[in-house]
Amino acid sequence: MKKDPRFQPVDAAVTPRFAGIATFMRTQRHDVSPELDIALVGVPFDIGVNYRAGARQGPAAVREASRLIRRVHNVSGIAPYDICNVADVGDAPVNPIDLHRSIAMIEEFFAKIHAAGALPLSIGGDHTVPLPILRALAKDRPVGIFHIDSHADTLDTLADTKINHATTFRRGVEEGLIDPKRTIQIGLRGSRFSPDDIKWGEDAGFTCITFEDYERLGRDRVIAKIHEVIGTGPTYMTIDIDGIDPAWAPGTGVPEIGGLTPREVQVMVRSLQGRHLVGGDICEVAPCFDPTGITAVTAANLMWEMLCVLAESKAKRGS
Amino acid sequence: MKKDPRFQPVDAAVTPRFAGIATFMRTQRHDVSPELDIALVGVPFDIGVNYRAGARQGPAAVREASRLIRRVHNVSGIAPYDICNVADVGDAPVNPIDLHRSIAMIEEFFAKIHAAGALPLSIGGDHTVPLPILRALAKDRPVGIFHIDSHADTLDTLADTKINHATTFRRGVEEGLIDPKRTIQIGLRGSRFSPDDIKWGEDAGFTCITFEDYERLGRDRVIAKIHEVIGTGPTYMTIDIDGIDPAWAPGTGVPEIGGLTPREVQVMVRSLQGRHLVGGDICEVAPCFDPTGITAVTAANLMWEMLCVLAESKAKRGS
Amino acid sequence: MKKDPRFQPVDAAVTPRFAGIATFMRTQRHDVSPELDIALVGVPFDIGVNYRAGARQGPAAVREASRLIRRVHNVSGIAPYDICNVADVGDAPVNPIDLHRSIAMIEEFFAKIHAAGALPLSIGGDHTVPLPILRALAKDRPVGIFHIDSHADTLDTLADTKINHATTFRRGVEEGLIDPKRTIQIGLRGSRFSPDDIKWGEDAGFTCITFEDYERLGRDRVIAKIHEVIGTGPTYMTIDIDGIDPAWAPGTGVPEIGGLTPREVQVMVRSLQGRHLVGGDICEVAPCFDPTGITAVTAANLMWEMLCVLAESKAKRGS
Amino acid sequence: MKKDPRFQPVDAAVTPRFAGIATFMRTQRHDVSPELDIALVGVPFDIGVNYRAGARQGPAAVREASRLIRRVHNVSGIAPYDICNVADVGDAPVNPIDLHRSIAMIEEFFAKIHAAGALPLSIGGDHTVPLPILRALAKDRPVGIFHIDSHADTLDTLADTKINHATTFRRGVEEGLIDPKRTIQIGLRGSRFSPDDIKWGEDAGFTCITFEDYERLGRDRVIAKIHEVIGTGPTYMTIDIDGIDPAWAPGTGVPEIGGLTPREVQVMVRSLQGRHLVGGDICEVAPCFDPTGITAVTAANLMWEMLCVLAESKAKRGS
Amino acid sequence: MKKDPRFQPVDAAVTPRFAGIATFMRTQRHDVSPELDIALVGVPFDIGVNYRAGARQGPAAVREASRLIRRVHNVSGIAPYDICNVADVGDAPVNPIDLHRSIAMIEEFFAKIHAAGALPLSIGGDHTVPLPILRALAKDRPVGIFHIDSHADTLDTLADTKINHATTFRRGVEEGLIDPKRTIQIGLRGSRFSPDDIKWGEDAGFTCITFEDYERLGRDRVIAKIHEVIGTGPTYMTIDIDGIDPAWAPGTGVPEIGGLTPREVQVMVRSLQGRHLVGGDICEVAPCFDPTGITAVTAANLMWEMLCVLAESKAKRGS
Amino acid sequence: MKKDPRFQPVDAAVTPRFAGIATFMRTQRHDVSPELDIALVGVPFDIGVNYRAGARQGPAAVREASRLIRRVHNVSGIAPYDICNVADVGDAPVNPIDLHRSIAMIEEFFAKIHAAGALPLSIGGDHTVPLPILRALAKDRPVGIFHIDSHADTLDTLADTKINHATTFRRGVEEGLIDPKRTIQIGLRGSRFSPDDIKWGEDAGFTCITFEDYERLGRDRVIAKIHEVIGTGPTYMTIDIDGIDPAWAPGTGVPEIGGLTPREVQVMVRSLQGRHLVGGDICEVAPCFDPTGITAVTAANLMWEMLCVLAESKAKRGS
């Protein structure tokens, strides 16, 4: 087990958790480099939305909230900093006004992380963000997707545009980045624009678990389904925070009642231990709608859950 | 199936949901008229309360929050605007200072809706509001009541007054507007003024499902009970938002912990599909205690659930 | 004096101000038509910003806050609804994702208002919004500008883009829409990107009153300066709410301390009585940063001030 | 100088200010009794309003905020607890639903205070509250009024009712409780329902200082005017918190921009030192619109200012 | 059954719940005396924390929120004021700056309550508070502990100090105040500083129910476990509000997602009916992080649950 | 002019201001080193307070808010990064529970900065913080103090302790760190514990400008007084944010109405250009009481003002 002192988070026994410059989970700030195993990244981009903006401040809020995360997982016992070099590599570059340039800049930044051999774990940004990430990570071979969301994000266009937070996973399939047979979407719900809102993914081969399905199957059978779908191939994790019920995620652009609890998502992410994971993101955290801070706290904790399984995967496989 | 272009909500593909004057679920603003099938109404009245006021701003907050509602139900597939003419008819008139005049004005407004042949679906206002509504709708024959609440609202007097938000359903029975045998109250809980707080309803023939009962029976058996109680006769739906647990409804006058989730209420309302429904309301949404907006979002979504089953009932029966 | 009953705001003696669907100052909702003298418009556009978004919800928040406005001006005695037909014409159409299409759609909408012979008074939206408005209003002849702001908005590019909330008035001059000699900017302040941030306007002929200038000259001399600059020609009023000190306008994208009070701006706008006014806007109201609601209340009251002087100008001139 | 240990506020050197049950300025809780010189009272009544309710929680919020008040005035040096027996006598009784009964109950409570020989200093409640207080205090002889407000509250009716927060001072004159020649209203502003909104008071003999007047005259001359108007006769002080500019008083029912600062009101109240003062109130503090707490802090401090001058008056005169 | 009129809470039928000085559940304010059966106490102490402070304002916020509690338990039917003399004895004295003096002062205050024969039910304060309470109550014989928390609070030191909110129950065992065999901790979760964070308690004989255990066992078996562990001996109840999931308790220093609902804790506390209970507390309510007030409402209701079982225990046993 | 690329803040033309890890004014994070001219420091310490805590989160909030600061001063034209090497050196170490250890740790950290030849500019932390800073900076010779505050902080003890936020400047004089003849306190106000609250400083030789003095003298004469008092000797600047009026600084422990505006303080700080400045701090920013964020925005801008004059002083003198 390596335990590189340059990649250890600030020690809470020495520096209280309220102190110091906020980085993700109090990890060190490092530039992308080959020594890095896991790169924690912010993607402050939210001009792909069609209702409420605000996710550009998501990375800042989650950095601040993630001060309370400690260093050992309470259930799995995974201690990510003992087995991987983890650092906060800062935010992906973006253009605040030009969507297409931003998408290119984000892709380029994640390509650099990928080239360095590190796995990215990021906080968006709106849910357009996985598209440039996957363009960087999955150019060579399509990946499976573990996807928590209340919306399928598989429309063809939104507001007559092709790249936005409602079309991401359709574009991903069309571009050969996503293996639809190894893709599972969980928590789908909410009123619909048309009866066919989620149909495209189903037709393409996605496994779509609506909230009704989730409730009917129960968590254990959903977890079995996740494993059946993603199998042992490379899998990317993406959580739209609006997949979580608004009691825990009011701070998001498009809240939908009747959703998953953080507990459900914690247990699902934990179940990914042992799988081949290639990265992950949490999107749509909009702090300006989060006066209690609960959305940022929830995202910080789910980022921790993802880090633990990602670190184990990386430590085992080296990729 | 009719699809009257004058009664279609604003199209989100053309006008983003954050744009335009806020009406309930972005429906058109129309005056009461015989073409209307379902009238969405605000009732900005809150001077019948004995703890915290604020529900007078409920209609405004729910109109704003309901921007995010789309047009097809994700589970039942009901598309209310395809089968009914639905419009926002504005707010019932009220007197801000004189309770009794307000009650009369509200009754008169709903009588006009009733006379026009439309079914009302309203956002209160405090929970005194169903009394004038029932006076307008149920003059001819008592109706059954599907009632979500943490309080039974069947006291004889509160603060030595007869008409207020704690006496509504007792007055309704006394006045012959409510059929107690066809009335079910779900979610009752909270500390009590006296051991007999909910006894009057039980004695009168109400089926009272406390939260303890709900938990013991489970949702499916409660739904069976609802159907058994309301039967096939005309039924009015009323939701005091404090029936919902405060995690989703902090913005209300008298929150009570340990309550129903929005999911539970969604499923119960959905189960009313096929029943003979004559209208509905959601009361006690007090935006000034709702800094996250979650209460308004919850109410907007439950209004949508009620609209779908109401539209189907109206489309089938014509009344 | 005309007093068209179709263009009167809702009467507070009959309908309490908290009741009814929120329109600007409780005016009637009308489509653009030749009968209209003044069109109140929302412009829910905020994808031209480089710091914090949120102004897309500005029109909704100001409609709600403007419920408290009454019908007679307390100082000038102007009663706008007695002398002009005023209505809320709803929001300009926008595309939520495509900046350039939005700009075109906004221009087209204001061109329609202009063609109908009405003067527009709008709530943005970020401060890119005056550009398409001026394209609609000032095609034929450049207009003078009365401009309250903490920033000059005369950069050449921001984030390597030409159309955004920091370049509006430079573009306006370049396109011949703005007469720089008849343009006055008041309240400029805040740290700067470079020593030349406001220089372009000064060189172009703008009168730039920094906050230092304002304090040194005093309000009366600034008002004299305003009149000297704008003269008797057609003048457009534009208020970036961040011109107001953050104690009254925390709900904005880029607050700058040490600014104008609402009182100062009230008195300056009132001084425009008698001038030739062709329209106005208030921009950058971002409700998601406005938990007390003071920014929306301030904007609603300043909109009222602008309405009064605009109505008088229109009533006198007919254009 | 008396310094009755039973009437001393909790000592901050012993008990930190955040500790203990919240009473007004940490005074002792006492029932009304002849030993009392000044009675601090809450009046949790807000059903006389026509826009936003919430002032019923005013007393609770001001009790909590007033923890930070100490015991010696920083400018006048007055130490009220050294010269008067001051206590928190709790809240006046009210009926939450019946306006007229509440008004009678409030009057009766203040009559008891008056009969005991104590001067009342109260926190409302809406601005209907001074009417029953004056009925209790001024039965025998009309009093002069020092009145800070943005509204004159001299309408004849509001919503077709006679007793409400917009008619108080007209009723007071009609009932012979107020001497109009010795009444001064300061801070009047805001848009108006009609050109005559404040005319009744002027005609009756009130001295009405609009904000325009205030600005034109300047503070010193306004203070001279106050003294000229109230003279040496018995005078009652009443502050509608909306007289204060919304930057310091967002937590109120009807905020009006462009108003007095707390500093202006502090200095005006301090100037009353030496006058014959018979009581005072601060009304319209609505905590549900006050997320920063600044309104309650402002009210607590102005209550302290009033207490100091009231104590000195009482100590000198004994009545 | 005694029903001492001096120890009855304010009657809501006479005085509306929003009225009056805020005491715990509107009980009377009394000094500690032998007549008292149960003393409601605030402990405004929060300088033992290592992340976010704010619990010093906990007692004030819970007093205010507890206005909505009535007088009869809705499930057990217990009416505590019929069987016990209950009063609010105010706040324990503390020194705001000196931790050790505060601990001594708190102990002394609770010793006085204990000596008077009353059982204490308190609102902290941070979770250091149970240590001085137990020093006062459990000097003679160790007590069992019913402990709801997300953290075990059994570290040896935190920040190199021995007395703080993370070491309380270890110190309690070491000092012989706590019987580890009769101690149960429920709800433990959250990331950990080291793999051994909760090990000390387990080794000492505590029964530690992590959230994983809770979910696996189910509520009924956990309740059976509680009874098995605490048996019939004297038992103290302590709830760290962060044991509750953040959806209901955002207002706390160290929120941890995936926790117990208030409903779960209500039912567990109710199950203690019939046990030998010697007191209780709720700690870590930090109102400055609780803009919706839900944390205070939750704490107020759980305090009520504890009061009911405590009153029954006291009434039966006399001690 | 040097313009070391390693000490330039993040370029807003390249990286939008909402992007990147939050450091003070987007400067680079560097360890203390001899290359540094000015060290920006956070001091997350707040256990020296006697009312409301929360300033431990001050540095984090100001780092976040200071994203909006640009790089050139709009009035003086000073461009600090052109003339000095400026960096964010992180937070001073503290012990979250032990006041005395924290004071020692803070002193040691600032001694290191001092030894490296850099001038410190810090964000507290409560107003105990200047004591350890002065112990580090002024060991050799006492410094003059430019002090903005509503409280003099010259008590002998508070809560029977000697080191806390109310005794700082008395201790500083007693320890020979402060030259009382060269010390000026501006903005003093608020009710007092005793008539002598500010007397000690006056007797010691401080120049105390109460708010009354400030208003009477006017800003220009106060500035003249500042210069007269501090002269040309080494001077330290300290701003307790509660010196600012609560409209701009609600987020603080002990707000006092009737205070200085940010504008007044901006101009006073700007006037220090040309003086011999040795460092500065802003204390008592408590984000948990700052829901609008205005306090943090105000502090960030005042920090910028201080940076500009400090940079010029350092560039000229080299010390």
The confidence score (pLDDT) of residue E3 equals 77
* Tens digits of residue pLDDT in C226-260: 999 999 999 999 999 999 999 999 999 999 999 99
Sign of the CA dihedral with D156 first, then D159, D162, and D168 last: negative
pLDDT confidence bin for B3, thresholds 50/70/90: confident
Each residue of D246-264: b (16+ CB within 10 Å) or e?
Answer: bbbbbbbbbbbbbbbbbbb
Cα–Cα distance measured from residue D182 to residue B266, given in angstroms and rounded to the nearest whole number: 62
Residue B165, annotated ligand binder?
no
CA distances to A181, C52, F255 from C289, in Å: 43, 9, 22
Closest CA relative to residue E206, chosen from E172, E232, E234: E172
CA dihedral E20, E25, E28, E29 (to 10 degrees): -90
Task: Reply yes or no: is the peptide bond before residue E201 cis, omega within 30 of 0.
Answer: no
Peptide bond before residue D125 is cis, with ω within 30 degrees of 0 = yes
Q: Which residues of A touch E (CB under 8 A)?
A: 12-13, 16-18, 67-75, 77, 79, 247-248, 261-263, 266, 291-294, 297-298, 301-302, 304
**Residue closest to E146 by CA, chosen among E169, E119, E118:** E169
Beta strands in C140-201 (DSSP E): 143-148, 178-188
B/D interface, count of CB pairs below 8 Å:
63
Closest CA to D114 of D9, D2, D36: D36
CA B178/CA F18 separation, integer angstroms: 57
Confidence of residue F318 (pLDDT cuts 50, 70, 90): confident
- Check F291 against C291: CB less than 8 A apart: yes
Chain C contacts of A99, Cβ < 8 Å? 97
CB C291 within 8 Å of CB F296: no
Average pLDDT, chain C: 97
Which chain A residues contact residue B262 at CB under 8 A?
257-258
Burial status of residue E225 (CB atoms within 10 A of its CB: 0-12, 13-18, 19 or more): middle
Kindly list the residues from chain B whose CB atom is less than 8 angstroms away from the CB atom of residue C10.
none
Between C and F, how many residue pairs show a Cβ–Cβ distance under 8 A? 84
Mutation for testing the F interface, residue in C158, C191, C264 having most F CBs under 10 Å? C191
- For residue A134, give both structure tokens: 């996957």
pTM: 0.98
The two structure tokens encoding residue C110:
């204001």
**pLDDT tens for each residue of A132-165:** 999 999 999 999 999 999 999 999 999 999 999 9
Q: Torsion angle of alpha carbons D200, D203, D207, D212, nearest 10°?
A: 70
Average pLDDT, chain B: 97
Name chain C contacts of D293, Cβ cutoff 8 Å.
none
Biggest distance spanned by C-alpha atoms of chain B? 56
Residue E2's pLDDT band (boundaries 50, 70, 90)?
low
Q: Which residues touch D245 (CB under 8 Å, ≥6 apart)?
A: C263, D257, D258, D259, D260, D261
Residue D143 near residue D238 (C-beta atoms within 8 A): no
Length of chain C: 319
Cβ neighbour number for residue E248 with a 10 Å cutoff? 28
Query: H-type helices in A231-293, by residue range?
Result: 262-270
Distance of CA B212 to CAs B216, B226, B258, E261, Å? 6, 16, 10, 15
Q: Which amino acid is at D31?
A: D
- The CA distance from E166 to E128, in Å, is 7
Secondary structure of residue F120 in the 3-state scheme: strand
Q: CATH assignment of E5-318, given 3.40.605.10, 3.40.50.300, 3.90.550.10, 3.40.800.10?
A: 3.40.800.10
Alpha carbon separation from F275 to D46, F77, F78, F239, F314 (Å, rounded) = 56, 17, 14, 17, 10
Query: How would you classify the pairing of strands B38-43 and B119-124?
Result: parallel
Residues of F with CB under 8 A from a CB of D: 50-52, 159, 188-195, 197, 210-212, 215, 245-247, 250-251, 254-258, 289-292
Q: How confident is the model at residue C40 (pLDDT cuts 50, 70, 90)?
A: very high
**Rounded distance between C-alpha atoms, residue A192 and residue A200, angstroms:** 14
* Encoded tokens for B261: 């989730």
Of the candidates C61, E47, C315, E284, which has an alpha carbon nearest to the alpha carbon of residue F45? E47
Q: Let me know: does B250 contact B299? Beta carbons within 8 Å.
A: no
Of E190, E212, E247, the CB nearest to A294: E247
pLDDT greater than 80 at residue E128: yes
Alpha carbon of D91: minimum distance to chain C alpha carbons (Å) = 27
For B148, B159, B251, D30, F176, the CA distances from E264, given in Å and listed in that order, are: 21, 34, 23, 41, 60
Residue with tokens 């790169």: A39
Nearest to E237 by CA among E136, E140, E119, E158: E119
- Judging contacts by C-beta atoms under 8 Å, the chain A residues touching residue C96 are 49-51, 159
Mean pLDDT of D253-273: 98
pLDDT at D1 over 60: no
* Maximum Cα–Cα distance across chain E: 56
Beta-carbon separation of F95 and A16 below 8 A: yes
Whole-angstrom distance, CA of residue A174 vs CA of residue A170: 6
Decide: B268 and B222 in contact? Cβ < 8 Å. Answer: yes
**Do residue C93 and residue B22 have CB atoms under 8 angstroms apart?**
no
Pairing of strands D178-188, E143-148: unpaired
Residue D19 and residue E42: Cβ atoms within 8 Å? yes
Quick check: A184 and A178 in contact, CB under 8 A? no
Cα distances from A173 to residues A160, A204, A280, C135, in angstroms, run 19, 8, 17, 42
Write down the pLDDT at residue D2.
67
Task: Give the strand pairing for C207-210 and A277-283.
Answer: unpaired
Are the C-beta atoms of D283 and D169 separated by less than 8 Å?
no
Three-state helix/strand/coil letters over F44-92: CCCCCCCCCCCHHHHHHHHHHHHHHCCCECCCCCCCHHHHCCEEEEEEC
Q: Is the pLDDT at B1 greater than 60, yes or no?
A: no
Tell me which chain D residues have a C-beta less than 8 angstroms from the C-beta of E42.
19-21
Nearest CA in chain F to E287: F288
3-state secondary structure string, B255-311?
A: CCCCCECHHHHHHHHHCCCCCCEEEEEEECCCHHHCCCCHHHHHHHHHHHHHHHHHH
- Indicate the SS3 state at residue E141: coil
Interstrand relation of B143-148 and C119-124 (parallel, antiparallel or unpaired): unpaired
| B112: closest CA of chain E, how far (Å) | 36
- Token representation of residue F150: 């509503």
State the Cα–Cα distance between residues B8 and B82, nearest whole angstrom.
8
| pLDDT tens digit sequence for E83-121 | 999 999 999 999 999 999 999 999 999 999 999 999 999
What digits encode the pLDDT tens for the residues E211-229? 999 999 999 999 999 999 9
Q: Under an 8 A CB cutoff, do F96 and E159 touch?
A: yes
- Looking at the predicted structure, is the pLDDT value of residue D54 above 90? yes
- Backbone φ, ψ for residue C228 (5° rounding): -60, -40
Identify any residues that bridge with B207 across adjacent strands, giving them in sequence order: B184
| Coil vs helix vs strand at C237 | strand
**B22 vs C15, C60, C96: nearest CB:** C60
Q: Per residue in A73-107, pLDDT tens? A: 999 999 999 999 999 999 999 999 999 999 999 99
Cα–Cα distance for residue pair E303/E62, rounded to 1 Å: 9
pLDDT band at B15; cut points 50, 70, 90: very high
Tell me: pLDDT of D243 over 90: yes
Tell me the percentage of chain C whose pLDDT exceeds 70: 99
Q: Which amino acid, A70?
A: R
Site from E14, E15, E21 to mutate, D interface, most D CB atoms within 10 angstroms:
E21
User: Could you report the per-residue pLDDT of A223-257, keeping only the tens digit for each?
Assistant: 999 999 999 999 999 999 999 999 999 999 999 99
Residue found by looking up tokens 């007469």 in the block:
C179
Q: How far is CA F34 from the centre of its chain?
A: 22
Q: Which pLDDT score is estimated for C1?
A: 56
User: B159 and D95: CB-CB below 8 Å?
Assistant: yes
Q: What is the pLDDT of residue E318?
A: 82
User: What are the residue boundaries of the structural domains of chain B, listed by start?
Assistant: 5-318
Tell me which residue of F282, F251, F279, F253 sits closest to F265, measured CA to CA.
F282
Mean pLDDT, all residues of chain A: 97
Residues of D in contact with C67 (CB under 8 A): 51
Q: Chain A residues with CB-CB distance to B under 8 A?
A: 50-52, 159-160, 188-195, 197, 210-212, 215, 245-247, 250-251, 254-258, 289-292
| Chain C residues within 8 A of A52 when measuring between CB atoms | 56-57, 288
pLDDT tens track for F101-114: 999 999 999 999 99
Give the integer Cα–Cα distance in Å for E303 and F1. Answer: 66
pLDDT 10s digits, D166-178:
999 999 999 999 9
- Cα–Cα distance measured from residue E72 to residue A9, given in angstroms and rounded to the nearest whole number: 51
CB-based contacts of D11, cutoff 8 Å, min separation 6: none
Look at residue B276 in the predicted model and tell me its pLDDT. 98
Q: E301: helix, coil or strand?
A: helix
In contact, F43 and F106? CB cutoff 8 Å: yes
Mean pLDDT of B24-31: 98
* CA-closest candidate to residue C134, choices C30, C23, C283, C286: C283
pLDDT confidence of residue D220 = 98
Name beta bridge partners: F148: F186, F239
Measure CB to CB from residue E291 to each of F98, F99, F291 and give the nearest one: F291
Is a pLDDT exceeding 80 seen at residue F163? yes
